[in-house]
Amino acid sequence: MKVLNTMGEDYHIHSINFSDWMNTIDEIVQYAHKIWMKRVAITDHSQATLEAGTRNYRVNLKRWKNMHNDLDIIFGVEWDLLDEEWNCCFEIWTKHSIEEDFCILSCHDGVYQWDLKNITQAYINAIEKYHDKIKFIWHICSKKTSQYLNIPKIAEVLNKYNIPIEINCSYLKLDRTDTSKLDQLLKLLKSGVYVCTDAHCLHDLQLKELGFQYLKDRGYI
């Protein structure tokens, strides 16, 4: 299993500026550098999730610069799967569309409004439509949806377009990952994984080791 990032890289982090993190981008940058991280991506929630949670942020990111250190920081968005067709929300910050850097596809309870029994086809339709923009799939084996996932079909479409999945350290810590389904998917996956924290507070940035240990315990690295 190819791991596509190092311990010093994290490509799934949220900020209070645009999402449901407890800290600002400046605080994230300073702390990440302090714990020897080299590159991070701020991938805040899409407009659909912000509206579902009645949170709406208006910040002009184009004016922001890292004035603290040499940490490489990029920006993307955590897309939301909306329905059983191919519809996704990749807008953020009051309808501003972000389609570059680390754009990751997710499925949130309360945002995806259709029958969960069709979640496999919903993922497949979205991947077929947006495969050239999706960097990886966010904790696809979440316990909330895993019982409806057809793992061989998901693996087939991910391998077809060489799309990795995420090993989500926060979900492993909180026991929100269906590890039996994840293990099944990892055995079929050829496109690799990103180990990310899905950090919502500074302490979460220290969870990276959980994901790497998970893969070591199963003989992937």
DSSP state of 149: -
62, part of any domain: yes
* Domain coverage including residue 197: 9-217
What is the percent of the chain with per-residue pLDDT over 90, rounded to a whole number? 53
Q: Tens digit of pLDDT for each residue in 19-77?
A: 656 678 889 999 999 998 999 988 877 766 656 554 444 445 566 778 899 999 888 88
Residue 1 confidence (pLDDT) above 90: no
177, part of any domain: yes
Sign of CA dihedral 115, 92, 160, 175: negative
The structural domain count of the chain equals: 1
105 burial level (CB within 10 Å; 0-12, 13-18, 19+): buried
Let me know how many helices (H) and strands (E) the chain has, helices first. Answer: 7, 10
Which residue bears the tokens 């924290």?
197
pTM of the full structure: 0.82
1, part of any domain: no
Q: What is the CATH number of the domain that holds 23?
A: 3.20.20.140
Residue 79 Ramachandran class (φ > 0 left, ψ -120 to 50 alpha, else beta): beta
3, part of any domain: no
Which residue bears the tokens 């490489």?
72
